[in-house]
Amino acid sequence: MALYRRIESWDGPPSAMRGASGPMTITLPKDPVPVVGALLEATSALGIPRVDDHNAEAMAGDGCCAIANVNVAPDGTRVSTARAYLAPQMERPNLTVLTGATVRRVRIEGGRATGVEFESGGEIRLVEARREVVLSLGGIHTPKTLMLSGVGDEAELKRHGIEVAQRLPGVGGNFQDHILVGGCVFEYRTPEPPRNNSAEFTFFCKSDASLPSPDLQPMLEETAFGSEVTGPAYGLPTDPSLAFTLAPGLIRPKSRGRVSLTGARPEDPVRIDANFLSEAADVAALRIALELCREIGNSETLRPFVKRELMPGPLADAEQLTFLRNAAGTYFHQSCTARMGRDPMAVVDGSLKVYGVENLRVADASVMPAIAGGNTLAPCVLIGERASDLIAGDLGFAPRW
């Protein structure tokens, strides 16, 4: 919790769980779209309590509904991690930031990471590492880079003619992502353009009361939001002010996928087998989320805003299953593909160091053993903060907490 407080500067409702002096400015939308108030009322009427801050004490509960936190500065601009962490340090003489550069592989010699090969301006270059290399390329490109560097499942590496530097069969496996369904769409009575981050309402709840924590997180999308299949099939409007969407979301998926290579060249794309909805429990949970979103959108409370339901409408069981499979997509929270652990399928240890390769760490969502039960930005920043403390400790500096 100390790390989370260290990350943020929160200007919302006071809580001992929130930070006040960190680099990431976190706030609440000052003028959410009017339908948000009705969504809060309708959702709380179903027994999902309304709270002022879903990232405070409510996190330990069985669920809640709230206006979503946003990382927005007082001037209305987004506070990215680059703006919060890199921008203030750009003048440091020991920092070089290269944009438009593509990492090709980590150079590993004698079981030790010695540098990084990358392409910039059409030229392949090598930067040598005196201390260590830290990969922070995310849940897809971190395992790709590890495999191109010879770290991964031996059979897969040999299939692509890559020399094995370290056998770690878990690289690329255990792929997890939050599933976002596009979606339950409702036409406005009066057109309302999106505001702020266009997703100002969310709720957490359990698909099964016996679960230890919420597994569902539907989200408001302030436009008509469908998949590449469902959008055209239902003829959703392209004008963003004509409709809003309650998008069912699954945040504790049982399904597991894999990231694999398609070739030995850095420019060869990876193959992502997300394996969404391969577990019956995930399908059952999203059926519940779908009906919850439909119930809220069609409630009496929403009637002043809703002219009609555009998608999906009432569906028989088989039709609902087809709709879910056509509508299921990503929350863009890909993770867990170079996971931390102590078993043979683990890739990094508790210090984020890659097993069997000296001077190589990973600091991104790929190290998560299981995906976080909510949006992954804050956990990723936490992983980065923790990595910085671990590196500082190895260099003899005291941690900051």
Quick one: 202 and 241 in the same domain? yes
Quick one: 196 and 152 in the same domain? no
Given a cut of 80, is residue 237 above it in pLDDT?
Answer: yes
pLDDT band at 256 (very low <50, low <70, confident <90, very high): very high
Of 330, 359, 377, which one is at a domain's C-terminal end? 330
Domain that holds residue 147: 102-175+335-394
Quick one: 304 and 233 in the same domain? yes
Quick one: 307 and 233 in the same domain? yes
Mean pLDDT, range 49-57, rounded to an integer: 96
pLDDT band at 3 (very low <50, low <70, confident <90, very high): confident
Bridge partners (DSSP) of residue 134 are: 361
Mean pLDDT, range 307-329, rounded to an integer: 97
Of 290, 307, 330, which one is at a domain's C-terminal end? 330
Structure tokens at 230: 């469902």
**CA dist., res. 281 & res. 277, Å (int):** 8
| CA nearest to 339, candidates 352, 330, 320 | 352
Q: Is 88 inside any structural domain?
A: no
Q: What is the number of structural domains in the chain? A: 2
pLDDT of residue 251: 98
pLDDT of residue 152: 98
Tell me if residue 387 falls in helix, strand or coil: helix
Buried-exposed string 133-172: b where 16+ CB fall within 10 A, e elsewhere: bbbbbbbbbbbbbbbbbbbbbeebbeebebeebbbbebbb
Quick one: 230 and 309 in the same domain? yes
User: What are the Cα distances from residue 380, in Å, to 136, 168, 322, 336?
Assistant: 10, 23, 34, 12
| CA nearest to 379, candidates 215, 371, 60 | 371
Structure tokens at 382: 């936490």
Quick one: 167 and 37 in the same domain? no
Mean pLDDT, range 6-16, rounded to an integer: 94
Given a cut of 80, is residue 196 above it in pLDDT?
Answer: yes
Mean pLDDT of the chain: 96
Quick one: 367 and 310 in the same domain? no
> Where residue 155 sits, what CATH number does that domain have?
3.50.50.60
Give the ranges where 298-359 is alpha helix by DSSP (H). Answer: 317-327
Quick one: 214 and 282 in the same domain? yes
pLDDT of residue 160: 98
Range of weakest confidence among 73-77, 122-126, 246-250, 317-321: 73-77
Given a cut of 60, is residue 401 above it in pLDDT?
Answer: no
The identity of residue 347, as a single letter, is: V
> Where residue 182 sits, what CATH number does that domain have?
3.30.560.10
Given a cut of 60, is residue 163 above it in pLDDT?
Answer: yes
* Residues classed as catalytic: 333
Model pTM score: 0.95
Q: Is 87 inside any structural domain?
A: no
Q: Is 90 inside any structural domain?
A: no
| CA nearest to 236, candidates 166, 272, 186 | 186
Q: Are 113 and 106 in contact (CB under 8 A)?
A: yes
**CA dist., res. 33 & res. 359, Å (int):** 49
Given a cut of 90, is residue 92 above it in pLDDT?
Answer: yes
| CA nearest to 66, candidates 219, 186, 223, 251 | 219
Quick one: 127 and 219 in the same domain? no
Q: Per this entry, what is the length of the chain?
A: 401
Q: Is 4 inside any structural domain?
A: no
Q: Is 141 inside any structural domain?
A: yes
pLDDT of residue 52: 97
Given a cut of 90, is residue 243 above it in pLDDT?
Answer: yes
Quick one: 317 and 348 in the same domain? no
pLDDT band at 292 (very low <50, low <70, confident <90, very high): very high
Quick one: 238 and 155 in the same domain? no
Of 330, 354, 372, which one is at a domain's C-terminal end? 330
pLDDT of residue 399: 63
Given a cut of 60, is residue 131 above it in pLDDT?
Answer: yes
Buried-exposed string 267-282: b where 16+ CB fall within 10 A, e elsewhere: eeebebebbbbeeebb
**CA dist., res. 169 & res. 146, Å (int):** 11
**Digit-coded pLDDT (tens) for 326-374:** 999 999 999 999 999 999 999 999 999 999 999 999 999 999 999 999 9
Given a cut of 80, is residue 400 above it in pLDDT?
Answer: no
Q: Is 52 inside any structural domain?
A: yes
Q: Are 356 and 111 in contact (CB under 8 A)?
A: yes
| CA nearest to 263, candidates 128, 123, 104 | 104
Mean pLDDT, range 192-197, rounded to an integer: 94
Quick one: 258 and 363 in the same domain? no
Q: Is 92 inside any structural domain?
A: no
Q: Are 129 and 86 in contact (CB under 8 A)?
A: no
pLDDT of residue 239: 98
Q: Is 194 inside any structural domain?
A: yes
The identity of residue 142, as a single letter, is: T
By percentage, how much of the chain surpasses pLDDT 90?
Answer: 95
